[in-house]
Amino acid sequence: MAGLVNNLLILFLVLRNSCLGFRSPLSAFKRYKDNARFFSNECLGNNRPVISLGPSDFALDIRMPGVTPKQSDTYLCMSLRLPVDEEAYVVDFKPHASMETVHHMLLFGCNMPSSNEDYWDCDEGTCTDKSNILYAWARNAPPTRLPKGVGFKVGGETGSKFFVLQVHYGDVSAFRDKHTDCSGVTLHLTHQKQPLIAGMYLMMSVNTIIPPGPKVVNADIACHYKRYPMHLFAYRVHTHRLGKVVSGYRVRGNEWTLIGRQSPQLPQAFYPVEHPVDVNYGDILAARCVFSGEGRTTDTHIGGTASDEMCNFYIMYYMEAKHASSYMTCTQNIKPDMFGSIPEEANIPIPVKSDMSMMTHGHHEEAKNTDETSLMKQPKREEEEVLDQDFHLEETVDWPGVNLKLGQVSGLALDPNNNLVIFHRGDRVWDGNSFDSRFVYQQRGLGPIELNTILTVDPSNAAVLHSTGKNLFYLPHGLSIDKDGNYWVTDVALHQVFKLDPHGQGSTLMTLGRAMQPGSDQNHFCQPTDVAVDPVTGNIYVSDGYCNSRIVQFSTNGMFIMQWGEESSLDKPKPGQFSIPHSLTLVPEFGQLCVADRENGRIQCFRPDTGEFVREIKHKLFGKEVFAVSYVPGGVLYAVNGMPYPGDTELVQGFVMNFFSGEIIDTFIPVRKSFEMPHDIVASEDRTVYVGDAHARTVWKFASTEKMEHRSVKKAGIEVQEIKDDADNKLETSSGRIFGRLKGKGSGGLNLGNFFASRKGYSRKGFDRLSTEGSDQEKDEEDATDSEEEYTPPPPAPVSSAS
């Protein structure tokens, strides 16, 4: 019986999230063209399930092809061939679904789907051979990235050749209007070999009985660990309605070390292990679920229907690739007596608001009728307003602006209509021959750039709406737009600042500085970098620049008012000292002007009316350079850094910061192409962010995943989810990875529903389908924890993720 339990539970785990990057994207597309099925253009808008992300990476969009389930608890499947044969790794999963229409999704990997139709009823099975569950999604789990250097391996000689998406439509009342659904998941895959392989360890009680009434019942699980060292980085808890708290521990000797503790009535995300825990040969892994049968009139057993219960504690870990095991299970309690010394916290329920509990379990109508929490009703203090910033930026991979034909992109801004304005250098390049030692431009004989250097672009489709700037500039640099829509630009070759009429063909409204004359007095600049215009006073602020180290303030009509700043000292730079003040952003809410102090790798903020230093924002992750900053109302500050110096390890990336505290909320990088020299950044109030790169000669668009509504997009047929991607749930999309390998119904594999149905007092109704949400990969007769192997010292911890 124990062997049967193990097989069943093994069906519960496999976190083989792998990143497939292919060596030849073009050959992959060519082969895929013959195999790709037609996707309803209501769903995807085009037939592009494979998106190139560079020479080694690509995204694979796996979606239901516009389906309309006709009855509740319908399970539909579709398949997509892996477009490469080589070994690859999944490093990122981005779901596209809403719990209002989708109960859960599972993504299988196998070599032969059960059908070659566009989609089919999953009762026919998922695969005809052994299938691995690579990913699962439920309850609005957000996107996630694994830690750097960690991936789930797929493909190659032994990996899966097909993906099979299974979608469980629980309540189909949302489809009364007969719209189509295109729920699914986008995978980010890479061919870059990952040194650390991720896996899932599932602890599950299989025989707990909860009597009716308020009496507390504990479900305890414990197993010896007898494998190579593993390093735990995330956990997830799962029960149904009667669960109060679930806790997991590593027990070494008599010492209990907390892995994680959470209420299962909160969104069942993967939460980061607060203090990473290593598990070595001989340790014990232990978990406890606390239940109460209050409100029930009969015994409640372990099972998969809504009226049953489950006690699961999932652990995400990584191991050295050469010793990796992608899944392990524990379904026993080898030392019941030791739970007498479990920390008291494991027995204390975590309070949960009733409306949150209802949303967790899918009671949307009830939740809609409840009042918002008192916190939401109360006016927020200034500090609270800027702290309410839980979101994550992802590149908008279908935005065509990345393919615009541009020169070196030096400046970005948004006009009053929220259109993107791009300042670029056309065919001109700033290199070592551009200036002499006195900063005098040496290529004047080339004349001004003959192309339009300022493009106004539609933010949705990147269509060029307007262009100007032909025959005006030699080396464009900074760009900003005032509240009236006027363009303010700098030219480092001309050493000048210009105010331009956005409606005229290069009509100049104001000029500051003397053409081709570098200087440091009130009438000259030396390679000025950026401009900011106060929306209230109209005062003009110029960062000057590459060969001066100052901020210069002018009146609204261009009269010099004051300046501040000096060159940095050789030792630690002091407040008000600059080494290339490169970018400016005004923060009207706090009365500050912030400067990207480029070569000092920091952001300095000042009182714009006096030049008084207010604060410095500096992080190790910035590295040695900060190129640009952008502020949006609500207390959010964005920045981009520069490429690391030789020997440095900091990534070139974008940053989202809480302006009040200065802490980094999020980091982001593109998936198409790579940052080479991100030169400017601009953000809108809806948290859409654009980054322009001088070396890559492109512009990327990033969007926040924070506020996607809980509703069907009827026209597009795509269920979008509300995603709250904060520090406590960034890993939730890996809820899919908790599930292991499961044979499809058509393959004669074990089914947990059948197993639990055989248990005394268990109601089978509805479990066969629901059982897939708690299934794991088929494996040996014994629990994975019982395998005897020598252990080696743990591998070094990976560099933290950029997400």
Active site residue ranges: 103-104, 166, 168, 238, 240, 310
Q: Is 680 annotated as a binding residue?
A: yes
Q: Is 619 annotated as a binding residue?
A: no
- Check the CA dihedral 770-776-777-782 and report its sign: negative
- Check the CA dihedral 391-396-397-402 and report its sign: negative
Cα 517–chain centre separation? 47
Q: Is 363 annotated as a binding residue?
A: no
Q: Is-contact 422 431, C-beta < 8 A?
A: no
Cα 141–chain centre separation? 12
Measured CA to CA, the distance from residue 681 to residue 691 in angstroms comes to 5
Q: How far is CA 707 from CA 391, 393, 723, in A?
A: 8, 11, 6
| Nearest in space to 201 (alpha carbons), one of 319, 95, 326 | 326
Measured CA to CA, the distance from residue 567 to residue 580 in angstroms comes to 9
Task: Count other C-beta atoms under 10 Å from residue 447's C-beta.
Answer: 9
Measured CA to CA, the distance from residue 247 to residue 261 in angstroms comes to 4
Q: Is 63 annotated as a binding residue?
A: no
Q: Is 103 annotated as a binding residue?
A: yes
Q: Is-contact 273 287, C-beta < 8 A?
A: no
Question: Residue 112: beta bridge partners?
Answer: none
Measured CA to CA, the distance from residue 134 to residue 90 in angstroms comes to 9
Q: Is 546 annotated as a binding residue?
A: yes
Q: Is 37 annotated as a binding residue?
A: no
Q: Is-contact 200 9, C-beta < 8 A?
A: no
Q: Is-contact 606 590, C-beta < 8 A?
A: no
Q: Is 323 annotated as a binding residue?
A: no
DSSP, collapsed to helix, strand or coil, labels residue 215 as: strand
Q: Is 275 annotated as a binding residue?
A: no
Q: Is 364 annotated as a binding residue?
A: no
Measured CA to CA, the distance from residue 455 to residue 237 in angstroms comes to 51
Q: Is 495 annotated as a binding residue?
A: no
Q: How far is CA 579 from CA 447, 477, 624, in A?
A: 30, 17, 11
Measured CA to CA, the distance from residue 63 to residue 39 in angstroms comes to 8
Q: Is 238 annotated as a binding residue?
A: yes
DSSP, collapsed to helix, strand or coil, labels residue 181 as: strand
| Nearest in space to 687 (alpha carbons), one of 733, 632, 630, 606 | 632
Measured CA to CA, the distance from residue 21 to residue 86 in angstroms comes to 9
Q: Is 477 annotated as a binding residue?
A: yes
Q: Is-contact 119 177, C-beta < 8 A?
A: no
Q: Own/partner pairs for 521-527, CB < 8 Å, 24+ apart?
A: 522/552, 522/560, 522/563, 523/560, 524/495, 525/490, 525/495, 525/496, 525/497, 525/552, 526/439, 526/495, 527/439, 527/477, 527/492, 527/495
Binding residues for Ca(2+): 412, 479, 680
Instruction: Please state the residue numbers annotated as binding site.
Output: 103-104, 168, 238, 240, 310, 412, 425, 477, 479, 546, 582, 598, 679-680
Residue numbering of the annotated binding site for Cu(2+): 103-104, 168, 238, 240, 310
Query: Residues at the annotated binding site for Zn(2+)?
Result: 477, 582, 679
**Residue list for the binding site for a protein:** 425, 546, 598
